[in-house]
Structures are given as C-alpha cells and as structure tokens.
Amino acid sequence: MSEVLTFRSPCAGALKDIGVAATPGVSVRERSPQIATVIARGAIADFAARLKASFGVQWVEGSKVSSGGGLVLVATGPRAWLALRDAGSENLATSLGEGLGETAAVIEQSSGYAVLRIAGEKARATFEKGLGIDLHPRAFAPGDAASTSCAHLNVVIWQVDGAPTYDVAVPRSFAAAFCHWLMESVAEFGLKVL
Amino acid sequence: MRIPCPFCGPRDVSEFVTLGEATGPRPDPAAPDAAEKFFAYAYLRSNPAGPSEEHWYHALGCRSWLKVVRDTRTHEIESAALAREGAR
C-alpha cells in the first residue's frame, strides 16, 4: 500500500498581512527552492574549477554568495555552502554531486530549511531588531552573506539587491518561531505577504 | 566583547563557545608518561594576567574553531585565526 506525502509549508499559517490599508514597509514571500549542503574536499582551487566548468558559477571567496544560471551558493563557513536552485525537473543534490565529483561532498537539504524573501524599505530596520551584525550598506551589501543568530535562532542571511531584498534560510523546525519574531518586529512598518 | 572571526568578521561573544586556554595537542595515551602528561593537559593552566592564547568555537556562525589571543585584564583581542591554519 502506498502512502502519498504532501508538501506542507514550514511557515503555514504563521505569516499574515499587517496594516495592508497603508503602504506596507516590508514584504515577505516564502520560497521553495531545492537546497543542498556543499562541503569542499581537498584543494579549494579544484572545487572552484569544477564549479566553474560544470555550472558556470564563479566562486567568490569569503562570507559571500556565488551565483550563476539560477544556482546560488551561500557561504556558511570557510569550506561549506548552502546551495539553492528553484525547483525543476532535475534534482539539485544529484546534479551537484555529479558536477562537482570528488571535489565536494553534497547532502540533500531541501526539506531542512524554510527560505523567506524579505524586502522593502523597512526590511533593514526590521532585521536590526534581531540580528547582531552591521547591516549598513557599507558593511553588508548585495552578494554578502552571514551565518548568525536572529533572536537566538540560527539563520543564514544574504542580501539579494539594494531595495533592500534579503533571503533568509531558517532550519525548518525553527520557522514558526522565526515567523513569530518577524510578525512582532515588522508590526510597526506593515507587512504584505506575497 | 566582540571577537573578529577571520571568516565572518566581528561578532558578538554570544555567538561563541570558549574552550579556555589553548594547551596544545592531546598527549599520546600510549606513552610511558601518559598519566603525567594527561594531568598537565587536563588541569594545569598558566592563567596569565595579560595576553592569553585561547580556543573559541564560532557555534552560531561559521562553526570554525579559532585560536584567539585575548588580554585577560582588558578583554582586548590581539588576534583571531582559524585554528586549522596554525598550531593547535
């Protein structure tokens, strides 16, 4: 007998519009990309060369985002990345494993994280209530990434553009707590759930 | 207190876990003087009033072990490096 497991959002029911009558200062959209953890093996130059050859992605050193062709690698440590790609027919972990070969270990993580896209002119002011890092444009710009804590919850955050738009990945079981923090912190600015 | 993580940049001390003074590598348990070596490794600390070499773990950041030189009188951090890049 087969059992069909249906996808359930980790943020289901936790995000609601706030003050939609006025222009909301922040918007939030839950993304559902495929996710994998990538850990380099051996020389980092070999890893970077394979990444470029197989996926056309130029590796950027440091706590940064490397991206190209719809694939995004967010640095989470000196030799570790969170890889994301919008859901398609091909499995991300499988294609990364084949493309990177012996230069990296790849672990499927698609159901392990909630990924939220948070944007708007008050997005920075909202995150300043929870993050301990400097988000001023001179310290944190598009392409920068940080693994840190937001209101004591582990988060990986990276800036997408200057709107500002941020993507934040939260371990799945903390998603409801993160949404609770977001709803409280964004209340004064207004929130639009996209 | 902020620790300048070589990967993440300056971060609040609440993101880190301290292991205390960097006492060097674990002794060889098969050596004839293993008991003495382990006693020193586990219990003896120089506890300086001044710069002290310590191991810190960036648990809520890049999850790297750091070797940090911290002044125990002022909490001033002289340097922080990935432990894997230097002597443990």
Q: Is the pLDDT of residue A4 over 90?
A: no
Tally of CB atoms within 10 A around A17? 14
- The interface predicted TM-score (ipTM) is 0.87
Task: Give CA separation, B27 vs B23, B52, B66, B83, in Å.
Answer: 10, 21, 20, 18
Per-residue tens of pLDDT for chain B, all 88 residues = 999 999 999 999 999 999 989 877 889 999 999 999 999 999 999 999 999 999 999 999 999 999 999 999 999 999 999 988 653 3
- Domain span at B12: 2-23+39-85
Distance from CA of A78 to the nearest CA of B (A): 6
- Whether residue A132 and residue B61 make contact (CB cut-off 8 A), yes or no, is no
Better-scored residue on pLDDT, A24 or A139: A139
| Tokens linked to B61 | 């950041």
So what's the architecture of A34-108 in CATH?
A: 2-Layer Sandwich (3.30)
The structural domains of chain A, with segments of one domain joined by +, span 26-31+112-193, 34-108
The CATH number of the domain where B56 resides is what?
3.30.2270.10
Mean pLDDT of A69-86: 95
Q: Identify which of B15, B64, B82 has the shortest CB distance to residue A148.
A: B15
Any B CB within 8 A of A148 CB: yes
Q: Which residue has the tokens 């990364």?
A: A96
Instruction: Count structural domains, chain B.
Output: 1
pLDDT at residue number A117: 97
Return d(Cα A178, Cα A184) in angstroms, integer: 10
Distance from CA of A17 to the nearest CA of B (A): 31
Statement: A26-31+112-193 belongs to CATH 1.10.3720.10? no
- Domain contains B30: no
- Domain contains B31: no
Taking one residue from A and the other from B, the number of pairs with CB-CB distance under 8 angstroms is 39
Q: What are phi and psi of A26, to 5 degrees?
A: -140, 140
Q: Which of A63, A131, A144 to mutate to test the interface with B (most CBs of B within 10 A)?
A: A63
Minimal-distance CA residue of chain B relative to A82: B62
